[in-house]
Amino acid sequence: MNTPSARRAVAVADPYAERKARERAVRGAGVLSAARRLFARKGYQRTTMVEIAAAAELALGTLYQLFPSKEAILCQLLEDYMDGLFARVRDAVSSAGDARRQLEQIVRTQLAFSQENADVLRLYLSGWIGYEFTVRRQFGERIDTKYEQYLGLVTAVFRRGGRNGTLVSAPPRRLAIALAGMVHALIRRWLREKRLDLMAEGEALLPLLLDGVRRRGGAARR
């Protein structure tokens, strides 16, 4: 019933609900931050919910109200990583010029973001095979949607470049998948080789990504 008294009741209740939502969000962020530190130091498998609750300065029951399991915390960390990456790449593309420049920005932005979030990347790339099947299934189903957003953005850049002649004319999604694969391979190598300069390797990779390996100005020497 949309009476004046009912509207006043909703208006009175809203500030309380908003405050509770803010408190929950702050506590949730604290849990994720604490879990991220523990996972990086001890590893996902060896970290317990009791330790996460203590690090976040929460009662164990409160922690379970926020996240029903350690797997849920891990999934949220990985989803937040993908959301952050997509937002950064989207902003980089919108601020760049033509399609070639946009592709350069995509690669540089993803590599820089990877450097800033190496601990989360290791959780996903290095320890993935050790996670329980339920974690892989739950995360995989949710991350696929977010990864498709990223591929869709890169595909759109290749499509624009193919149409206006600044990039090769080829199936844009296929090109986007190839680009993503090369970047991911470089990131995996960087995670294994601690002395590798990720950004320098990325700059060396860009000419290959953008121009290929075809020799210009004549036949290749034998």
In single-letter form, the type of residue at position 89 comes to V
154-174 average pLDDT score: 90
204 in the same domain as 141: yes
Residue where a domain terminates, one of 33, 68, 103: 68
173 in the same domain as 111: yes
Q: Give the Cα separation of 174 and 101 in Å (integer).
A: 19
Q: Are 107 and 209 in contact (CB under 8 A)?
A: yes
* Burial class (CB within 10 angstroms; exposed 0-12, middle 13-18, buried 19+) of 71: middle
Cα separation of the two ends of the chain: 85
pTM: 0.78
Residue where a domain terminates, one of 68, 97, 120: 68
203 in the same domain as 124: yes
CATH of the domain at 165: 1.10.357.10
Confidence of residue 200 (pLDDT cuts 50, 70, 90): very high
The answer as to whether 219 is a domain residue is: no
What range defines the domain where residue 84 resides?
Answer: 70-212
Count up the domains in the chain and report the number: 2
CATH of the domain at 28: 1.10.10.60
119 in the same domain as 43: no
Confidence of residue 2 (pLDDT cuts 50, 70, 90): low
Residue where a domain terminates, one of 68, 89, 112: 68
